[in-house]
């Protein structure tokens, strides 16, 4: 979950919803891949945070009883393995992109546990094999994955309320074209500007659903889960302009 502290209490955005927002952003880029690969890239963006585990222990709340943001959770080998298993049902291209994403996220954990190292080694080996079997150059796959990473990053900036105040700019990420992109909001609540402008249209609107929790503390995961099930839903929207 992405957890934001707001005046009403807690604003919760599921990671799967954030991934869908990333896919909305990717959908607006001019396609530079064959249609089958482009759709596979969209699928990878939309589903890269799937296969979340059922809550157990204190995965859902902090020691103080607040909802736990995803950054507070440890790496889950079970979830990462589940993501890869699900991707393989959609083919090698989708699997390749998902595997590259997991390598990017978790390669820094190498050396901590043997099971993690084994998983990371499997990703490297599978990526080489899929590139060879698909007759795709490594540079072409990296360009496609860079776009997924770019959209993932922009989605997180929006979902985590990380747009700077006073019209200051924040770096998004290097795009698939090698350009450095930044985001700013000249007026509070106004359109969001992206420079340079990468999308097909001069402006677009993207959205994500969020839950609102007025209760600040929970005794256990079951109480939090029940509150989330009953929580009102709001739609957050952003207008992006050139």
Percent of the chain with pLDDT over 90: 81
Partners of 240 in the beta sheet? 192, 204
pLDDT tens profile 16-43: 999 999 999 999 999 999 999 999 999 9
Q: How far is CA 41 from the centre of its chain?
A: 13
Q: How far apart are CA 27 and CA 4, in angstroms?
A: 26
- What residue has token string 């393989």? 88
Q: What is the pLDDT of residue 50?
A: 58
**Average pLDDT value for residue range 62-88:** 87
Q: How far apart are CA 92 and CA 154, in angstroms?
A: 26
Q: What is the pLDDT of residue 73?
A: 75
Q: Across the chain, what does the average pLDDT equal?
A: 92
DSSP letters spanning 198-236: -SSSSEEEEEEEEEEE-----SSHHHHHHHHHH--EEEE
Q: What is the pLDDT of residue 74?
A: 76
pTM of the predicted model as reported, rounded to 2 decimal places: 0.91
pLDDT tens profile 85-113: 888 999 999 999 999 999 999 999 999 99
Percent of the chain with pLDDT over 70: 95
Lowest mean pLDDT among 70-74, 136-140, 180-184: 70-74
Q: Is the pLDDT of residue 58 over 60?
A: no
**Average pLDDT value for residue range 205-234:** 95
pLDDT tens profile 160-196: 999 999 999 999 999 999 999 999 999 988 999 999 9
CB atoms within 10 A of CB 98: 27
């Amino acid at each position: 979950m992405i957890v934001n502290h707001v005046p009403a209490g807690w604003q919760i955005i599921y990671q799967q919803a954030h991934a869908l927002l990333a896919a909305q952003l990717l959908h607006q880029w001019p396609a530079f891949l064959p249609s089958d690969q482009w759709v596979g890239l969209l699928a990878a963006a939309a589903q890269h945070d799937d296969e979340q585990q059922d809550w157990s222990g204190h995965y859902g709340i902090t020691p103080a009883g607040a909802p736990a943001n995803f950054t507070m959770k440890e790496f889950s080998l079970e979830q990462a393995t589940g993501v890869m298993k699900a991707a393989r049902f959609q083919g090698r291209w989708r699997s390749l992109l998902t595997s590259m994403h997991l390598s990017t996220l978790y390669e820094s954990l190498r050396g901590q546990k043997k099971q993690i190292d084994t998983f990371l080694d499997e990703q490297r080996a599978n990526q080489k094999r899929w590139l060879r079997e698909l007759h795709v150059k490594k540079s072409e796959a990296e360009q496609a994955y860079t776009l997924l990473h770019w959209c993932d990053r922009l989605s997180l900036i929006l979902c985590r309320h990380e747009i700077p105040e006073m019209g200051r700019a924040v770096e998004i990420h290097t795009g698939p074209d090698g350009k450095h992109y930044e985001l700013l909001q000249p007026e509070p609540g106004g359109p969001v500007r992206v420079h340079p402008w990468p999308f097909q249209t001069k402006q677009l609107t993207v959205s994500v659903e969020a839950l609102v929790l007025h209760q600040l503390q929970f005794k256990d995961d079951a109480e939090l889960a029940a509150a989330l099930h009953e929580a009102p839903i709001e739609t957050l929207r952003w207008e992006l302009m050139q």
